[in-house]
Amino acid sequence: MQVEQRVEELVQEKIADRSDLFIVSIKMLQNGVLSILLDGDNGIAIEDCAAVSRHVGFHLEEENTIETAYRLEVSSPGIDAPLVLLRQYVKNINRDVRVKLSDGTKREGKLLAATAENITIQEKVKEKGKKAALVESIIPIAQIKETKVLISFK
């Protein structure tokens, strides 16, 4: 069994009673770091990360799953991390996002909706000689290279 697969089972076991929490990614990195990214529909507390870390670490040691030295890191995605899962898009509805498309273009606007097929953003479109208008644009997920939430310090 692959390390990531066993770790996913252990994390799911620990968060089974918390339907608001979910796994973003689990990666065994080349530098010996086992990285677990967790998130929650309403954010995630440091205590939740610590509890998952203890649970996973205990079982990995007990089962001797990883034979080489490793460092376990359990955290939430950073504020500047791209959105990966539909659940993260849904969590960020009504926030401003910057979307990079596969063709290299960038779009910015308020995230209004998200489905498995596409997202809807409200963006300001300025035409020459006219006031900027708010336009709803539907962007297919397949065309999105990266989406990040824009942080406002207002």
Which token pair is 118? 């596409």
pLDDT digits (tens, 9 = 90+) for 54-90: 999 999 999 988 888 899 999 999 888 999 999 999 9
Residue 143 has what DSSP assignment? G
Rounded to whole angstroms, the Cα distance separating 149 from 59 reads 35
| pLDDT at residue 154 is higher than 80 | no
- Confidence bin at 1 (pLDDT 50/70/90): low
The predicted model gives 30-44 an average pLDDT of: 94
pLDDT digits (tens, 9 = 90+) for 89-134: 999 999 999 999 999 999 999 999 999 999 999 998 888 888 888 9
- Tell me which amino acid residue 123 is: E
- pLDDT recorded at residue 117: 97
Using a 10 angstrom Cβ sphere, with 0-12 exposed, 13-18 middle and 19 or more buried, the burial of residue 99 is: buried
- pLDDT recorded at residue 147: 97
Which residues have CB under 8 Å from 59's CB, separation 6+?
10, 65
pTM exceeds 0.85: no
Any idea what the Cα angle at residue 90 is, between residues 126 and 10, rounded to 5°?
145
| pLDDT at residue 20 is higher than 80 | yes
- Confidence bin at 26 (pLDDT 50/70/90): very high
- pLDDT recorded at residue 53: 97
The structural domains of the chain, ordered by start, are: 3-75 (3.30.300.20), 86-149 (2.30.30.100)
